[in-house]
């Protein structure tokens, strides 16, 4: 059999095979996805039945409140993954986002304690957050460094600057804005919970309801195709890092309101942020990150810790089980995506 | 001593004996305490240090001993997590909450919310106006005693390296303020500025490099006389640094009494000068007894002090032993 014949034969059967394969793949992915969602639902059902007080409105609003900071950060991370592609090693990722929040919180709290008002302090926090985002964009887009490494380096820069600024101490803060965030409420929902609801709505509309969002997915999914279609890929990727920095700044204000201070150790949140953004992919039909999926997984993570506490399961288990679930979901997600990739 | 003074001393001694027997009586009633059918929430900022773990364990063991149910929450040194845990805990409406350590600035608004929800709040080692009772060591005493021991060992003069990274933690504030107060009487003992910052995590490593740097900066022997920290984990790093630099004239001082540090003070060759050893397990247990008394309708004082012991080079062999035995018994380290 000559090579040309083989080639022709493959060419003929290729389309049929591909069609069959893609149908099978779609079915397999559907099973995996529904399985993961069923697992989430089963855990929730267990909590609803056995965890005392789990379904009370008060408790659920508490969980939304507790999820606000993680949620805002996870949106930033999700945007970066959408724009940079969801390949774990080479795709978009912002490891500096939690440290950036720590830095913004330190700037915000320090300026407030020095007597500058809310307006200037918020402005400075947002400026710092977006400047860190711009640094990420410069490293990734301008210098072409792998996002994993570039943002890791920026993480250290941000963490170092926070330490320099606060000397690793707690900086107490109070202001009218913080007062509203702490004790304000409307329609029985607290200000912090509102913050998450409003921010979620904005992000979902921006990414899933505009042509801008559509182009963002194109940039992340097929950068060459996007470039060929005349989309300014560098601009979009840079934008996601700036947006991530903006999210860090918003989250920092929520953090300072919740803790009445900026405290060291914000970097610890990074793992939960990554987990939320990655877990969220199971809620999408094509295993891509979506804002809605991220919101669901943020709430899931919050409900998990809450349910465990209500069941009086030792808090030591929470991290372990959370980690195991993340591993499971990430494993099946990359398995499903892997089979998609090897077409 | 004049005769009247002798009489006074005798009277005082008698009074003390009476107080002791009274304490024994109240100890007897303590055995009848019960927490049957009660749920007690316990929130600790972290349990990665000997003191924290022992106190946390003491609380849980005692609640179970008294027949109560314990909701034990360890925030793993994360403020966000502790706040979330407290928020959920308030919704769980336990019969009482015991809060152990943490940043007061962060905690206070939430402790207020606990009281607003009508839940009795007790604290361990955390002085706050929101608590019904704070069970702790007498940190005023501890702070003064360790400072005086340091001044005595220095011969009343010299420079001190001070770790002051946790002034926002109430017990550290008291101990630091007491150090400053003692030093007002000894103007020849000077704190080196800027002060050092102890950190969590990597406390030992960071203290080691901080002290090493400072010793390098002041190379002449005798230019630094002592290192002070408001707890004893930085003291471990400081002691190692002093010994590695061969600057044995520098002695280290700290508070808590981790077994590791007590062993250092017991070792005559070690640069660890003294440590004020607390009884964290007892502190935890005593806090629970206070909860039980309060829930039984008895009156509870705003604070309860559990005795601490200053362990120095002279008394270490004798005074250190019971602390090491207690640690072994509790199965920690």
Model pLDDT, residue B18: 44
Using a CB-CB distance cutoff of 8 angstroms, which residues of chain B are in contact with residue A306? Answer: 84, 88
Residues B116 and B242 in one domain: no
Q: Is the pLDDT of residue B84 over 90?
A: yes
A128 phi and psi, to 5 degrees?
A: -65, -45
* Under 8 Å between Cβ of B194 and B160: no
Model pLDDT, residue A336: 62
Model pLDDT, residue A334: 66
Model pLDDT, residue B329: 82
Residue B144 resides in a domain: yes
Residues B324 and B215 in one domain: yes
pLDDT band at residue B268, thresholds of 50, 70 and 90?
very high
Q: What is the CB-side half-sphere exposure of residue B50 using CA atoms within 13 A?
A: 24
Residue with tokens 């394969």: A21
Report how far residue B328's alpha carbon sits from residue B206's, in angstroms, rounded to the nearest whole number. Answer: 28
Residues B186 and B322 in one domain: yes
Running DSSP on this structure, what letter comes out for residue B80? H
Q: Verify cis geometry, omega within 30 degrees of 0, for the bond prior to B194.
A: yes
Using a CB-CB distance cutoff of 8 angstroms, which residues of chain A are in contact with residue B105? Answer: 170, 172, 260-261
Residues B319 and B192 in one domain: yes
Closest C-alpha to B264, from B320, B209, B308, B221: B320
Residue B28 resides in a domain: no
Residue B236 resides in a domain: yes
Q: Is the pLDDT of residue B98 over 80?
A: yes
Q: Is the pLDDT of residue B20 over 60?
A: no
* Under 8 Å between Cβ of A175 and A118: yes
**Three-class SS state of B302:** coil
Closest C-alpha to B30, from B288, B279, B282: B288
- Would the CB atoms of B79 and A263 count as touching at under 8 Å? yes
Nearest chain B CA: its distance from A51 CA (Å): 10
pLDDT tens-digit readout, A260-291: 999 888 888 898 898 888 888 888 877 788 99
Kindly report the number of other CB atoms within 10 A of residue B69's CB atom: 16
Residues B118 and B129 in one domain: yes
Residue B15 resides in a domain: no
Closest C-alpha to A29, from A312, A284, A296: A284
Mean pLDDT of B157-167: 93
Model pLDDT, residue A39: 81
**Three-class SS state of B148:** helix
pLDDT tens-digit readout, B193-232: 999 999 887 899 999 999 999 999 999 988 999 999 999 9
Residues of B at the A interface, defined by Cβ within 8 angstroms? 69, 71-81, 83-85, 87-89, 91-92, 103, 105-106, 108-109, 165, 167-168, 197, 199
How do beta strands B309-312 and B272-277 pair?
Answer: antiparallel
Residues B63 and B154 in one domain: no
Model pLDDT, residue A170: 86
Model pLDDT, residue B326: 85
Query: What domains are defined for chain A?
Result: 27-341 (1.10.3470.10)
Residues B169 and B126 in one domain: no
- CB burial class (10 A; 0-12, 13-18, 19+) of residue A197? middle
Residues B60 and B143 in one domain: no
Residue B106 resides in a domain: yes
Closest C-alpha to B66, from B301, B295, B303, B304: B295
pLDDT tens-digit readout, B101-151: 988 889 999 999 999 999 999 999 998 999 999 999 999 999 999 999 999
Residue B196 resides in a domain: yes
Residues B130 and B174 in one domain: no
Using a CB-CB distance cutoff of 8 angstroms, which residues of chain A are in contact with residue B76? Answer: 315, 319
A154: left (phi over 0), alpha (psi -120 to 50) or beta: alpha
Running DSSP on this structure, what letter comes out for residue B185? T
Closest C-alpha to B129, from B114, B106, B111: B111
Residues B317 and B172 in one domain: yes
Model pLDDT, residue A323: 75
Residues B143 and B249 in one domain: yes
Residue B292 resides in a domain: yes
Report how far residue A161's alpha carbon sits from residue B304's, in angstroms, rounded to the nearest whole number. Answer: 42
Model pLDDT, residue A128: 97
Residue with tokens 């402790």: B111
Please spell the DSSP secondary structure of A125-175, one letter per residue: HHHHHHHHHHHHHIIIIIS---HHHHHHHHHHHHHHHHHHHHTT--EE---
Q: Which domain holds residue B316?
A: 139-277+311-330
Model pLDDT, residue A22: 67
A118 phi and psi, to 5 degrees?
A: -60, -45
How far is CA A72 from each of CA A117, A206, A318, B64, B160, rounded to the nearest angstrom? 24, 14, 22, 40, 46
CATH number of domain containing B297: 3.40.50.2300
Report the complex ipTM: 0.83
Residues B286 and B265 in one domain: no
Nearest chain A CA: its distance from B168 CA (Å): 7
Q: Is the pLDDT of residue B157 over 50?
A: yes
The β-bridge partners of A60 are none
Residue with tokens 């997590």: B81
- Would the CB atoms of A260 and B197 count as touching at under 8 Å? no
| Residue ranges, chain A, pLDDT below 50 | 1-10, 340-343
Count of domains observed in chain B? 2
Closest C-alpha to B234, from B219, B212, B217, B218: B212
Closest in A265, A269, A309 to B85, CB measured: A309
Residue B25 resides in a domain: no
């Amino acid at each position: 059999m000559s090579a040309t014949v083989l080639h022709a034969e493959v060419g003929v059967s290729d389309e049929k095979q591909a069609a069959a394969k893609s149908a099978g793949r779609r079915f397999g992915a559907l099973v995996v996805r529904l399985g993961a969602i069923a697992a989430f639902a089963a855990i929730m059902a267990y909590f609803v039945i056995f965890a005392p007080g789990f379904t009370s409105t008060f408790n659920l609003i508490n969980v939304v409140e507790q999820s606000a900071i993680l949620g805002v950060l996870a949106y930033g991370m999700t945007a970066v993954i959408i724009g940079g592609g969801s390949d774990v090693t080479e795709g978009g990722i912002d490891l500096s986002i939690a440290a950036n929040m720590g830095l913004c919180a330190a700037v915000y709290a320090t300026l407030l304690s020095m007597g500058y008002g809310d307006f200037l302090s918020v402005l400075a926090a947002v400026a710092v957050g977006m400047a860190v985002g711009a640094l990420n964009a410069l490293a990734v887009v301008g210098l072409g460094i792998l996002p994993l490494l570039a943002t890791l380096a920026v993480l250290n820069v941000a963490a170092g600057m926070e330490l320099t600024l606060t000397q690793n101490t707690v900086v107490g803060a109070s202001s009218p804005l913080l007062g509203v965030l702490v004790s304000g409420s409307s329609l029985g929902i607290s200000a912090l919970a509102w913050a998450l609801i409003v921010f979620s709505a904005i992000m979902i509309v921006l990414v899933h309801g505009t042509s801008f969002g559509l182009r963002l997915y194109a940039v992340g999914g097929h950068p060459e195709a996007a470039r060929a279609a005349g989309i300014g890929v560098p601009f979009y990727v840079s934008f996601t890092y700036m947006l991530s920095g903006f999210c860090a700044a918003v989250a920092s204000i929520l953090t300072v309101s919740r803790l009445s201070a900026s405290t060291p150790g914000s970097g610890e949140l990074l793992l939960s942020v990554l987990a939320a953004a990655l877990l969220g992919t199971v809620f999408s039909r094509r295993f891509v990150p979506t804002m809605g999926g991220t919101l669901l997984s943020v709430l899931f993570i919050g409900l998990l810790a809450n349910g465990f506490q209500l069941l009086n399961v030792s808090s030591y288990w929470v991290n372990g089980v959370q980690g195991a679930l993340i591993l499971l979901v990430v494993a099946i997600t990359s398995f499903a995506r892997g089979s998609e990739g090897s077409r | 001593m004049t005769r009247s003074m002798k009489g006074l001393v005798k009277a005082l001694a008698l009074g003390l004996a009476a107080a002791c027997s009274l304490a024994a009586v109240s100890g007897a009633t303590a055995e009848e305490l019960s927490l049957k059918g009660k749920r007690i929430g316990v929130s600790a900022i972290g349990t990665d240090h000997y003191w924290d773990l022992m106190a946390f364990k003491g609380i849980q063991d005692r609640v179970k001993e008294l027949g109560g149910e314990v909701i034990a929450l360890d925030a793993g040194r994360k403020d966000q997590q502790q706040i979330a845990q407290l928020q959920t805990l308030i919704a769980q409406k336990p019969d009482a909450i015991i809060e152990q350590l943490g940043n007061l600035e962060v905690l206070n608004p939430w402790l207020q919310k606990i009281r607003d929800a009508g839940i009795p709040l007790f604290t361990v080692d955390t002085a706050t106006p929101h608590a019904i009772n704070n069970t702790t060591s007498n940190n005023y005493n501890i702070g003064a005693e360790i400072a005086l021991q340091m001044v005595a060992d220095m011969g009343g003069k010299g420079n001190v390296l001070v770790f002051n990274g946790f002034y926002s933690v109430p017990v550290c504030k008291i101990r630091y303020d007491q150090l400053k107060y003692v030093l007002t009487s000894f103007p020849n003992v000077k704190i080196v500025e800027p002060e050092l910052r102890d950190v969590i995590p990597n406390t030992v490593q960071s203290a080691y490099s901080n002290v090493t740097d400072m010793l390098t900066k002041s190379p002449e022997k005798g230019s630094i006389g002592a290192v002070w920290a408001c707890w004893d984990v930085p003291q471990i790093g400081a002691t190692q640094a002093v010994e590695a630099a061969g600057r044995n004239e520098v002695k280290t001082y700290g508070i808590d009494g981790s077994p590791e540090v007590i062993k250092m003070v017991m070792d005559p060759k070690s640069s660890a000068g003294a440590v004020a050893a607390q009884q964290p397990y007892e502190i935890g247990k005593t806090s629970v007894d206070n909860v039980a008394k309060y829930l039984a309708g008895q009156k509870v004082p705003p604070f309860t002090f559990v005795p601490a012991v200053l362990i120095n080079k002279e008394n270490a062999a004798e005074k250190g032993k019971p602390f090491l035995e207690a640690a072994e018994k509790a199965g920690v380290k």
